[in-house]
Structure 1
Amino acid sequence: MVPMPMSYSFGANATGVNRSSLPLAIPLRGTSFHDMTLPLLFHPFSRPLERHSTLLTALLAEAPIARPAALRWLETVDFDEIDVGEQRLMPFLDSRLRELGINHASSGRVRGLYRRAWYVEQLMHSQLDGVLKIIGEVTTTAVLLKGAALGRLVYDRPVHRPYDDFDILVPFEMQSDVVEAMRRAGGIVEARSFHATMLRMPGGLSVDIHRSPYQMAFQAEHVRPVFTRLHRIEPDEPAGGNSTSRPSAPWLTLSFTDHFLHTLMHGIGLTSLPPIRWIVDAALLMRREDSRINWDLLVDEINRLDFVEPAILGLREVLEFERNENAARVLAELERRPSQPSVMHAGVDAQHLGVVWLWESTRRNAGGPVGRIRLIASLFLARHGLRGLLRRFSRKVVPLSIAGMKGLFKRRDKITRRSD
């Protein structure tokens, strides 16, 4: 049996917000992207709050700037109200406080979160070989995404990059077979989206099997180039700090270029959690692996995948906290190029965001209206069956879509009046 990792959640607001309360956010066709206001595009959690920015400064800035920022955050934070985004940065903050020579009354609370995260990291690592063995029955190409890989690639210690599930990319045509192998091993499918299937394994371990790293581009042609430039994490590659976890065999993960693009795309979308950890991921990738990021290839991939607008937003955000000449050059180049406004989203969620949202999310992935309708119908059918599809369409999708369109026209009128 695979034990369930310890939860990071505590405090009244630790779980974030109810996703059903998220507003429908759709860029208006024919409207200049750069003239739009952020509230039109994003849930408020899509950009760091003031206290998040203070914490990010404490983690990423030079010592003369980081030290007062860290003290200011410690003086003002209420650990009973801390959100999930901040929780997941506490292990990194603990080491940063020691580096800055800060011994605050709240340092013990931060240290306690570090110790909890260290235990979870050891527990998660101990379960990874078992997951990879199941996947290995179908394919030898299992690519680690996000925390399990980034903790070893760009952080001093794996514990600095907490994670509580495994995100694993497999070859596009193998995803359904891998999911079936996980089900034979006792896994239960909890959710399906276009780019991944989420399973709960015996004991509670969560594993997401991806056919694409990207929520907005999930066809075979989008993904194949990624597999031609994978990076290997070797067993003897140092993990840093006092971690006792090492790969028992080489792990595959994305190239540093693809990690950086994936971090931008995953972080900048609409989300129910404060998305601040991705900024640290991206900043450290730039700081420590600048020479291993192929910046020209990055531009080519952004254009190939039609990610210009979200990439602009992501680069602007991260460059506020970490200067990098190559990233600034890429941003300047992208800003000069015409592009189609993109819908920001954290995933395809038919239950909460309605048909309008789903329609926008399929733009890169189907040729014409018929193909897009088929994609949407297939997702509903896979999730709920035919009866559930009809029931949810009548009870949720239609009302939410009508409400979303009403809101869209209200915003359009507001923008028109403001321009007049």
Structure 2
Amino acid sequence: MQNQVPIQFTTPSELALLRAALLEGPAAAEAARGWLARQRNGEVGPGFHRLESGSRRLLPLLYRNVKASIPAEPRGELRKVHHDYWADNQKRFRRLQELLAWFEANGIPTLVLKGMALSVLHYRDMALRPTSDLDILVPEDRAPEVVGLLQRDGWTTEDYLPSAPKKRYFYRHIHAIPLARPDYGSLDLHWHVLTEATFRGADRPFWSDSVPLAVNNIKTRALNPTDQLLHACVHGFAVCDIAPIRWIADAVTVLRTSQVDWTRLVNLSKQLHVTISLGASLSFLRATFPTPIPAEAVEEIQAVRVDHAERRYFETLVHRNSGWREVLAYNFERHRRANRDRNCILGIPSLLRQLQLHYNLPHIKDLGTLAFSRLGKRLRRENGQP
């Protein structure tokens, strides 16, 4: 089946902002002046506080790129935004150091993902890549132990029932758990890098080829540049509450600061079954920004054949339809992706576990109650009853 799912990665306004933040010279200055003029007309408010959050997080990059080419008033406002994000990231960096020291004291290997790792290794400026939480990967075999330790240390989650992380199947179907503690803020604890690859052993390549990362006096690991690019591109292929456009800045920054092993990237995308999302993302980047992405790599990724279930899964990520067919298709593919390391017959019960986790139910038997309840509501609607 065709290995392409149509997706609009940006709105015209978001693309103009990205061009202003990522292009160079006169092209960046022209894009910045045009974008700023439109924002003034749109009344984004003092300090751009009414600007959509995903776009506002790109403003430090915009300021650094075009501060010499824009009028004094917006330059002053952008300077303050730049400083505020720098201060926020400094606080998070200290929190990260404290957390990593805790992991180290408990003998738990760590790999830092996303914002903090990108800030240190690729942006090399603590203001340019705002982040609202910390993302830390631990070995999948240690994940249940680590979650238990964190919960005993005062970390809580509102996304799942308290009993869910105590079940072994939880770690096969879910890639990470969002945790919070009042004195630390938010932590996304990962045992898998990708939502789309949660089968046992999926993350061995990420660990085995990771690179050193120093957080002051604490030694940890980070994804190598090729895997950073894969993570950014796949993570950006979705619709969510905060526009995920910063993946574009992340990907372009990685491409500009590092060498990418294109053979590894292609092979990993096939192994993890993310050719649809990676191919679309790389194609967009290559067509939109000056990048060293080889056409041959994009063509090879997009030439990989996928089945109907895989294609439909990625379509649900883009369109976010909530009908029962879409929900079933989404969860069936998530179940398949959780069981790629074992016989599919043995994995059949996991489809019920996947649905149980999707609906956040305490027991599998509650799926029957939920199904009858929803069927009853549908029949009443069809009969014109409240």
Please classify the TM superposition score into its range, dividing by the shorter chain length. Answer: 0.7 to 0.9
Q: How does 1:218-297 map to 2 (within 5 A)?
A: 218-234=198-214, 247-289=216-258, 291=259, 293-297=260-264
Shift of 1:270: 2.7
**Is the aligned partner of 1:322 residue 2:295?**
no
| Alignment equivalent of 1:362, drawn from 335, 348, 353 | 335
Spell out, residue by residue over 1:135-184, the C-alpha distance to the aligned partner (whole angstroms, 9 max, x if none).
Answer: 23444311100001001111141210011111111001111111111111
Q: Partner letter of residue 354 of structure 1?
A: V
TM-score (norm 1): 0.75
Instruction: State the partner residue of 1:376.
Output: 354
State how 1:56-205 maps to structure 2 within 5 Å.
56-77=18-39, 78-80=43-45, 81-98=50-67, 100-192=68-160, 194-203=174-183, 205=185
Deviations 1:325-383 (A, max 9, x none): 4443310222333233432339x9999973332223333222257144144145258x4
SS of residue in 2 equivalent to 1:274: coil
Partner SS for 1:306: coil
Distance verdict in 2 for CA 1:132–1:350, change over 3 Å? farther
Secondary structure (helix, strand or coil) at the match of 1:92 reads: helix
Paired residue for 2:272?
305
Q: Is the 8 A contact 1:58 1:65 kept in 2?
A: yes
What amino acid is the match of 1:276? Answer: I
Instruction: Tell me, yes or no, if the aligned pair for 1:138 and 1:174 is still in contact at 8 Å.
Output: no
Tell me the residue number matched to 1:393: 370
Greater CA drift, 102-111 or 153-162: 102-111
Distance in 1 (alpha carbons) for counterparts of 2:207 and 2:52: 35
Contact 1:189 1:198 in 2 (8 A): yes
> 2:112, 2:220 within 8 Å by CA — same for their partners in 1?
yes
Give a deviation string over 1:102-152, Cα, whole Å, max 9, x none: 234322222221121011011111111221233234443111000010011
Deviation at 1:390, TM superposition (A): 4.4
Q: Are 1:92 and 1:160, in contact at CA under 8 Å, matched by a contact in 2?
A: yes
Moved more, 219-228 or 167-176: 219-228
Pair 1:311–1:94, CA change in 2 (3 A) = same
Q: Report SS of the residue matched to 2:221.
A: strand
C-alpha distance in 2 between matches for 1:271 and 1:135: 30
Q: CA RMSD in A?
A: 3.0
Q: Distance in 2 between matches of 1:314 and 1:187?
A: 35
Change (3 A) 1:139 1:313: farther
Identity %: 23
Distance in 1 separating the partners of 2:257 and 2:117: 15
5+ unaligned residues in a row in structure 2: which ranges?
Answer: 161-172, 380-386
Inter-partner Cα distance in structure 2 for 1:387 and 1:106: 55
Render the CA deviation track for 1:179-214: whole Å, top value 9, x for unaligned: 111111110122257101111113361111111110
Give the TM-score of the pair, scaled to structure 2.
Answer: 0.81
| Structure 1 residues 274 and 395, CA gap change in structure 2 (3 angstroms) | farther
Deviations 1:207-254 (A, max 9, x none): 1111111011112221122111111123xxxxxxxxxxx522223111
Give the number of aligned pairs.
348
**C-alpha distance 373-56 of structure 1, shift in aligned 2 (>3 A):** same
Q: Give unmatched runs, 5+ long, in structure 1.
A: 1-29, 235-245, 403-420
**Deviation at residue 400 of structure 1 after TM alignment:** 11
Do the aligned partners of 2:180 and 2:187 also contact (CA within 8 Å) in 1?
A: yes
Separation (CA, whole Å) in 2 of partners of 1:399 and 1:269 = 32
* 8 Å CA contact 1:143, 1:170 repeated in 2: yes
Q: Tell me the CA shift for residue 88 of structure 1.
A: 0.6
Q: CA offset at residue 75 of structure 1?
A: 0.6
Going from structure 1 to structure 2, the CA distance change for 1:392 and 1:185 (only over 3 Å counts) comes to farther
Alignment of structure 1 residues 38-57 onto 2, 5 Å: 38=6, 47-57=9-19
**1:9 equivalent in structure 2:** none
| DSSP-derived class of the 1:129 partner | helix
CA contact 2:119–2:128 (8 Å) conserved in 1: yes
Match of 1:250, SS state, is strand
> For 2:113 and 2:180, how far apart are their aligned partners in 1?
18
Rounded to whole Å, the distance in 1 between the matches of 2:120 and 2:60 is 14
Distance 1:155-1:175 versus aligned 2 partners, 3 A rule: same
